[in-house]
Structure 1
Amino acid sequence: MKKYAGYMIDLDGTIYRGKEKIPAAKRFIENLQAKNIPFLFVTNNSTQAPEKVVANLAKNFDIHVTVDNVFTSALATADYIADLDNEKRTAYVIGELGLKQAILDRGFKFEETTPDYVVVGLDYDVTYHKFELATLAIKRGATFIGTNADTNLPNERGLVPGAGSVIALVECATQQKAQYVGKPETIIMEKALKRLGLAKDQVAMVGDNYMTDIQAGINFGIDTILVYTGVSTKEQVAKKAIKPTVELDSLDQWEV
């Protein structure tokens, strides 16, 4: 069993399942903390600030971490556009507070008419007017960025539209494809690895979803650990040409 110097870890389906606790996941995190092994929760959720993620983990799952352990697609998106061009510092954003705050924190100003970037993520109050502003700005030459391609999200009512569905409308209106940042793209992985301060061969990606978590690790060229506590099933993974490095029924099976 290989020992890793650091871990990138998915949240929903891996650390918890909706509102349900996964006891083995709590033990896994506590083992990492006891051995001072660095880890990042790498999540495609762009709506919440890291502080909210930390509070949710503590209140509902009795998992106690800091904001330094959380890396959202919002943070990755803000890092990505900040690193593209030092001269470009305006953006029009469709998204929730987590995304807007991440972009403001990187020194950007919001601009509706002629922004350098149009950034689109999940927005629970999206309107035609917001779509109109985004479309016109992209048509004028703004660079089009999407936080993540997830078309649906599970909630207590079923599968509802995700960020990818919001972004798809702008893609249709502009006839342009967004540059996506979140899993399974490598951008979020590159930014997460930079924050961990480790090399690729020192880290593993842990997740429950082959199509996002594991594919992100494969695309990025790092080892992957798939735990069957969420989305993907053994039958589905058996048909994949490229298998995860490790497959587990429970994180209790993994020794850090």
Structure 2
Amino acid sequence: MFSLTNKKAVVTGGGSGIGKAIATILARQGAEVHILELGIEQAESTLAEINGNGGKAFSYACDVADHQNVKEIFNQIGAINILVNNAGIAHIGKADTTEESDFDRVMNVNVKGVYNCLYAAIPQLRAAGGGVIINMASIASLIGLPDRFAYSTAKGAVKAMTMSVAKDYIGENIRCNSISPARVHTPFVDGFLQKNYPDNIDEMFEKLSKTQPIGRMAKPEEVGALALYLCSDEASFITGCDYPIDGGFTTLNN
């Protein structure tokens, strides 16, 4: 089950965190993985892990917010079977505390970046006879989170794009779904705590963990396992769906 042998996958932001977990599990199941990162050096650890364990992976320096850059790289990769739109950035702020430059930056990466990859990838999926698109949304697209105005706006757009693409390409054997994680323990979380709470990291980590009713953060590998299922032939009847993976956050926090 869940074999991706002879499949070619593109994972944006595959150098660390959730993207790395997705890239490595897809490769473990037989996919040839192409990683897009802002700098090639950011993908080195993922490449080493995949290629060092008998897999096959390649990396490309790519700014997903740059339309022409994205098109050139997808043309270089050629026909693909899987696209995982994972690249994204975070921002903290309310509507009246988010500067225009920060809002534009989040939209350029988290919304336009997804559009750019969809635009460039769909012809390559079509060339392969169809395939699968996974967009990384967030529970921020489902419920209100404090101080996440720009981020929530962007992830809401990603969820809407997912439904639109699923509808438009269902007749071309292209499935499109999204995944909405709650808090996941990634290097980003560690960096956030180190920067903002250097004197009480352990206490804040515990506090953030317990915001999920299940009592902990998700592991990147757990998100990767869900992505693997949705990319596999075993999920061939699934399109136009969003999958919260949140430890009960959206349903049990009351």
TM range (shorter): 0.3 to 0.5
TM score, norm. by length of structure 1: 0.36
Which protein has the bigger strand share? 1
Q: Which structure shows the bigger proportion of residues in helix conformation?
A: 2
